[in-house]
A and B are shown apart, each in its own frame.
Chain A
């Protein structure tokens, strides 16, 4: 399964980078969303899927999956959510001020830096 997940993560990264390199601001943020999904799945995959039970103590269960990657991903999810929310508002404000969301038009000019 890990082999397949490695390809899935690669695919998610590929799609994310393709979106990040586009012109529209919204697409770029969607791309970052895909990128964080890819990264989270990658961390989980690298921790291996060995074990058959969730990492919660229960009677008679000893075969837990690795809890460390899960803790890392939990932290990462929250942080990427914070950043995504910030990006979205930034894009919204940028569009309000600049009247465009086209990255090719958003260049500082010499007199406006």
Chain B
């Protein structure tokens, strides 16, 4: 129970943040916030021994039991690792933000409320075993990320970036929800653990592939994989602590988490392996290639994050191959999933510290533009050291943790060439080649990042501020992360035993039943083998590439700017959605009531006439018809002439009088059709109506010149003829096929005995169906009041304006 509540602790704490912000102005609000992640990280640390033994802890809080939806906190190796990353890096980021954000200038309460919301959401994502609550928290990360990116909401770019990330990640989230729902329909449960148990049966379903693709779309959009990575560089408008936390260490790894969590279900599929490994590798190459082009420090880091996420993703794809190999625990495939998790930890450490350094550089010099920076090494020695450690680790150099995971990555990629399923024996050779090229680019941008910023010539006059070293408080977090980078290199096996192996056992339950069975020993020196030679090649080519950077960096400008994915996004969002769709609505939403009426009547007649003929419902029979008398024929002729006169009259008075003639003819019809009450009412009403028309006639203008002769409009005539035909056809077929007898006999027989009346129509009106009459009276009353109100109440424009003032 308490374990589930721990997910919500940050949200509960967020409730009090505005209070602290308003009441305790002298202390930076961040100090109060810091307690939350520190508590969480100690709380989750107590689970490390349990989980390292291969046990799992689960707690449940029912939410909607009737639908099988509950909040579940399920801690196994994978979710515990993520929980520790979230709370641990969260604590460091809060500490960093205390020095980064000014107590007096910034809206701190907003910032920390959003940040705590995000922390809770992220914990929920990684611990949820129920897919619906997983989706709930997933969207909460999108929303809080949106709020954090748009933190400086008076900047255009912030709002643009926030919107972009929202649109892309929420679109992916929706897809993922679809995948979850179809998975739960196949498996009959929302619980991921129970779904994993029935994985082989799930694969036999027809919708298995659809669920797979939808869930992958969710993971790819969140983790900024190709081609959805475009939101991440624009999300760099967020404050740097946010970039460090959300966009390098935690949120972007939610997609990685999702892929890892669902690997036991989907690894059976060839599509999953190809997509995860292939898209991951493509993203790795694409991100590293374009990182060199960037001139903004955070831009470089954003593309580098994209690329590193692709690396982890491709490793998870290769890890899924182990499902298809007999005795995989004895082959080198076992390295892939291990390397993925190991690199995930390493990436969180070095990328977090690099973002913080970028923030420090920005904070102390006033710019992040790498073309203006240079020679900061002597001014900012601590920052330089941290940046150097982070970059070298990112480039994969010893003695930093990036070297270890890079070697394992190369091992895993080389192992693909031995895989002989699913066409991998022919195309698999591409994997290590692309991976190697991407690693060269990674090397180049790592050097580019650190050396263009900290070495070279210092041009103080180009910088908005006079540069100096950051305050100690700001340096604590990056220094802690950088020391972890070095520490992990020297004690990799302790990290592996406590964190990585339980996580690998959770990803590959088909290989291992307990973490102790994962027999991988990380060694800095692994002998002379192909990986080593590949690393040597990376370093040599990378160094050459970095030296000649100014020569070939211009080549990026040769690429046409029109053909980018960002342009595609802008086209879809601004051109397609805004302009084109508005233009399309403008085509039919003209504001002209005549057009709308024309569409409506036309549609009604087409639908009704169409249905009549499709259903073969049109029947004419003369069986029931009564005889025709001379009077009736005369009345019909009068009625038709009156109607034609009404329609084609040139002046309004003719039209009105002709309408009156039609009305009186109708009442004559009522007379010969044996309806005395109707005839009476019709006569009176028609008289009053004509009088009213004549009253209005006095006030209304003459028919316009343009309509003096009613213009023959083809469409108008067509619609009216169609409606007339429709009414005639429906009337004929309705008359010709009366299926049930009328209920009228009951009225005829009981009108005197039950109601004590002789006039059947009147008895129906006030006795049998008195309610109709009651509301008909109401209608008349309302009409009277409305007419009175319209004539009496006259608020002219002048008065209105006066009231508004």
Select A86's contact among B598, B646, B773, B783, beta carbons within 8 Å.
Answer: B783
- Are A21 and B791 in contact (CB-based, < 8 A)? no
B563 at the interface (CB under 8 A from A): no
If A1-B628, A42-B727, A51-B674 are given as contacts, then 16 extra A-B residue pairs at C-beta distance below 8 Å, sorted by A number, are A1-B627, A3-B732, A4-B636, A5-B731, A6-B727, A6-B728, A8-B640, A9-B731, A22-B594, A33-B663, A48-B626, A53-B674, A56-B759, A57-B752, A65-B675, A67-B764
CB-contacts of B666-691 with A (<8 A): 666, 669-670, 673-678, 681-682, 685, 688-689
Select A78's contact among B628, B700, B780, beta carbons within 8 Å.
Answer: B780
Given A85-B787, A103-B592: A65 in contact with B727 (beta carbons within 8 A): no
For B598, give the chain A residue with the smallest CB separation: A21
B725 at the interface (CB under 8 A from A): yes
Select B761's contact among A1, A58, A67, A79, beta carbons within 8 Å.
Answer: A67
Give Cα A81–Cα B721 distance, bound, in whole angstroms.
26
Given A24-B704, A67-B747: A19 in contact with B735 (beta carbons within 8 A): no
CB-contacts of A83-98 with B (<8 A): 83-86, 88-93, 95-96
- Are B626 and A2 in contact (CB-based, < 8 A)? yes
For B632, give the chain A residue with the smallest CB separation: A1
The interface residues of chain B lying within 8 Å CB-to-CB of A86 are 783, 786-787
- Are B758 and A92 in contact (CB-based, < 8 A)? no
B341 at the interface (CB under 8 A from A): no
Give Cα A13–Cα B400 distance, bound, in whole angstroms.
87
B529 at the interface (CB under 8 A from A): no
User: Closest Cβ of chain A: how far from B123's Cβ, in Å?
Assistant: 47
- Are B655 and A17 in contact (CB-based, < 8 A)? no
User: Closest Cβ of chain A: how far from B669's Cβ, in Å?
Assistant: 7
The interface residues of chain A lying within 8 Å CB-to-CB of B632 are 1, 4
Give Cα A26–Cα B761 distance, bound, in whole angstroms.
34
Number of chain A residues close to chain B: CB under 8 A: 86
The interface residues of chain A lying within 8 Å CB-to-CB of B748 are 55, 64, 67
The interface residues of chain B lying within 8 Å CB-to-CB of A64 are 748, 760
- Are A68 and B744 in contact (CB-based, < 8 A)? yes
User: Closest Cβ of chain B: how far from A54's Cβ, in Å?
Assistant: 4
B710 at the interface (CB under 8 A from A): yes
User: Closest Cβ of chain B: how far from A14's Cβ, in Å?
Assistant: 3
User: Closest Cβ of chain A: how far from B278's Cβ, in Å?
Assistant: 51
| CB-defined A-B contacts under 8 Å, sample of 20 | A2-B625, A3-B625, A10-B727, A15-B724, A16-B720, A17-B719, A17-B723, A22-B716, A48-B626, A48-B735, A50-B624, A55-B674, A57-B759, A79-B780, A81-B780, A83-B783, A85-B689, A88-B693, A91-B696, A101-B701
User: Closest Cβ of chain A: how far from B523's Cβ, in Å?
Assistant: 72
The interface residues of chain A lying within 8 Å CB-to-CB of B573 are none
- Are B669 and A41 in contact (CB-based, < 8 A)? yes
User: Closest Cβ of chain B: how far from A12's Cβ, in Å?
Assistant: 6
User: Closest Cβ of chain A: how far from B593's Cβ, in Å?
Assistant: 6
For A53, give the chain B residue with the smallest CB separation: B674
Give Cα A56–Cα B674 distance, bound, in whole angstroms.
10
- Are A49 and B592 in contact (CB-based, < 8 A)? no
- Are B790 and A90 in contact (CB-based, < 8 A)? yes
- Are A18 and B765 in contact (CB-based, < 8 A)? no
- Are A49 and B673 in contact (CB-based, < 8 A)? yes
Of residues A5, A51, A100, A103, which shows the largest number of chain B Cβ atoms within 10 Å of its Cβ? A5
Interface string of B728-744 (1 = CB under 8 A from A): 11011011001000111
- Are A78 and B627 in contact (CB-based, < 8 A)? no
Give Cα A103–Cα B618 distance, bound, in whole angstroms.
37
B597 at the interface (CB under 8 A from A): yes
For A54, give the chain B residue with the smallest CB separation: B674
The interface residues of chain A lying within 8 Å CB-to-CB of B761 are 55, 67, 70-71, 74
Give Cα A53–Cα B628 distance, bound, in whole angstroms.
16
Give Cα A107–Cα B594 distance, bound, in whole angstroms.
11
- Are B735 and A8 in contact (CB-based, < 8 A)? no
Interface string of A32-70 (1 = CB under 8 A from B): 011001101110111111111111111000001111101
Give Cα A91–Cα B734 distance, bound, in whole angstroms.
37
Give Cα A2–Cα B656 distance, bound, in whole angstroms.
28
- Are B728 and A57 in contact (CB-based, < 8 A)? no
Given A6-B728, A78-B685, A86-B783: A66 in contact with B659 (beta carbons within 8 A): no
B59 at the interface (CB under 8 A from A): no
Select A18's contact among B666, B674, B716, beta carbons within 8 Å.
Answer: B716
Give Cα A89–Cα B693 distance, bound, in whole angstroms.
10
User: Closest Cβ of chain A: how far from B323's Cβ, in Å?
Assistant: 61
Q: Is the interface of B mostly helix, strand, loop or mixed?
A: helix
B644 at the interface (CB under 8 A from A): yes
**B: which residues have CB within 8 A of A?**
591-594, 597-598, 601, 620, 622, 624-629, 632, 636, 639-640, 643-644, 646-647, 652, 655-656, 659, 662-663, 666, 669-670, 673-678, 681-682, 685, 688-689, 692-693, 695-697, 699-701, 703-704, 706-707, 710, 713, 716-717, 719-721, 723-729, 731-732, 734-735, 738, 742-744, 747-748, 751-752, 758-761, 764-765, 769, 772-773, 776, 779-780, 782-784, 786-787, 790-791
4 smallest A-B Cβ distances: which pairs? A14-B724, A10-B728, A82-B783, A6-B731
The interface residues of chain B lying within 8 Å CB-to-CB of A9 are 727-728, 731
The interface residues of chain A lying within 8 Å CB-to-CB of B670 are 44
Give Cα A29–Cα B656 distance, bound, in whole angstroms.
10
For B715, give the chain A residue with the smallest CB separation: A21
The interface residues of chain B lying within 8 Å CB-to-CB of A41 are 666, 669
User: Closest Cβ of chain B: how far from A82's Cβ, in Å?
Assistant: 4
The interface residues of chain A lying within 8 Å CB-to-CB of B601 are 17, 21
The interface residues of chain A lying within 8 Å CB-to-CB of B723 are 13-14, 17
- Are A10 and B673 in contact (CB-based, < 8 A)? no
- Are A70 and B689 in contact (CB-based, < 8 A)? no
The interface residues of chain A lying within 8 Å CB-to-CB of B628 are 1, 4
Select B787's contact among A25, A29, A56, A89, beta carbons within 8 Å.
Answer: A89
Give Cα A70–Cα B280 distance, bound, in whole angstroms.
77
For A104, give the chain B residue with the smallest CB separation: B592
- Are B643 and A81 in contact (CB-based, < 8 A)? no
- Are A11 and B776 in contact (CB-based, < 8 A)? no
Give Cα A75–Cα B701 distance, bound, in whole angstroms.
33
- Are A30 and B727 in contact (CB-based, < 8 A)? no
Given A9-B727, A10-B728, A30-B656: A56 in contact with B700 (beta carbons within 8 A): no
- Are A1 and B626 in contact (CB-based, < 8 A)? yes
User: Closest Cβ of chain B: how far from A107's Cβ, in Å?
Assistant: 4
The interface residues of chain A lying within 8 Å CB-to-CB of B760 are 55-57, 64, 67
Give Cα A51–Cα B675 distance, bound, in whole angstroms.
11
- Are A15 and B731 in contact (CB-based, < 8 A)? no
For B796, give the chain A residue with the smallest CB separation: A97
- Are A102 and B704 in contact (CB-based, < 8 A)? yes
User: Closest Cβ of chain B: how far from A113's Cβ, in Å?
Assistant: 11
- Are A89 and B790 in contact (CB-based, < 8 A)? yes
Give Cα A81–Cα B681 distance, bound, in whole angstroms.
11
The interface residues of chain A lying within 8 Å CB-to-CB of B710 are 22
Give Cα A88–Cα B656 distance, bound, in whole angstroms.
13
The interface residues of chain A lying within 8 Å CB-to-CB of B759 are 55-57
- Are A11 and B707 in contact (CB-based, < 8 A)? no
Give Cα A61–Cα B761 distance, bound, in whole angstroms.
16
The interface residues of chain B lying within 8 Å CB-to-CB of A95 are 699-701
User: Closest Cβ of chain B: how far from A91's Cβ, in Å?
Assistant: 6
The interface residues of chain A lying within 8 Å CB-to-CB of B659 are 30, 33-34
User: Closest Cβ of chain A: how far from B670's Cβ, in Å?
Assistant: 8
The interface residues of chain A lying within 8 Å CB-to-CB of B773 are 75
Select B744's contact among A66, A74, A101, beta carbons within 8 Å.
Answer: A66
